[in-house]
Amino acid sequence: MSITLYNYVLSGNCYKVRLLANLLNIKYETVAIDFHPGKEHQSEPLLKLNPAGTLPILVANGQVFTETQAMLVWLAQQHDPSCSWWPINNANQLAAVVQWLGFSSRLSATIGELRLHSMLNNTINIDSAQHGAKICLRELESHLTEQRIIGQQWLTGDQPTIADVACFPYTALSPDAGIEHDEYPLIRGWLHALRSLDNFLTMPGIHELHELGSTIRDKT
Ligand SMILES: N[C@@H](CCC(=O)N[C@@H](CS)C(=O)NCC(=O)O)C(=O)O
């Protein structure tokens, strides 16, 4: 089986794919794309693969995927015999996973855009993105609080799924967008649980010290 990821190391969406591949021990190749400053993702050869001009792009056995969520579904469905990361045998949980995949798009559209603005000076409506980002984080905190009450550590149950993977990067990276995690203790705990998974893979910009500090603070 041949899997190739067109990758940019600082892209949160590319990282979702690398993270899941690592967690599931999936072998793949990467093609490094000069996203910045080269804008190679908008060059002719890349636009032939993905007319939307975005990364990541995944080519798996000749099939081209241009949406991160589809890549996560495909990787989990192909490589997770336990069906826990993409729980196809449980309709309620499966629908909840899809719901949180949708939520991950809101994180990309707010925190992701703010991060691109602070890193690359992209033009965006900062107030609206910050407002949207805070609404997302409050919603996530409140959901994790409800999950904690019913004894579940993850977004949709007592096992992590691709929904947790999809929501992790931009939540973890929100300090890059100027939004710290101090007000969100349950989010900090969930981020920490994700980092503690076997085969967790980090990326540049995913801070550790802040959360560890918070965990220690919470215990005292
Ligand atoms: N709908 C796509 C969007 C991916 C996306 O927006 N990727 C960013 C990088 S993280 C991108 O390529 N942006 C294009 C640009 O800023 O020029 C997906 O979910 O995979």
Domain parsing of the chain, residue ranges:
3-79, 91-219
- Residues with a CB atom less than 6 Å from ligand 1: 11-13, 41, 54-55, 67-68, 116
Per-residue exposure over 126-139, b if at least 16 CB sit within 10 Å of its own CB, e if not: eeebbebbeebbee
Tell me which of 142 and 212 has the higher pLDDT.
142
Residues 134, 143: Cα–Cα separation, whole Å:
14
Which ligand 1 atom lies nearest to the CA of residue 54?
Answer: 12
**Percent of the chain, pLDDT > 90?**
85
CATH fold of 3-79: Glutaredoxin (3.40.30)
- Helix (H), strand (E) at residue 4: strand 3-7
What's the pLDDT at 120?
A: 81
Distance (Å) from CA 24 to ligand 1 centroid: 23
Q: Which CATH number fits domain 91-219: 1.20.1050.10, 2.60.120.1440, 3.40.50.620, 1.10.10.10?
A: 1.20.1050.10
pTM of the model: 0.93
Whether the predicted pLDDT of 145 surpasses 80: yes
Which ligand 1 atom lies nearest to the CA of residue 12?
Answer: 10
Whether the predicted pLDDT of 208 surpasses 70: no
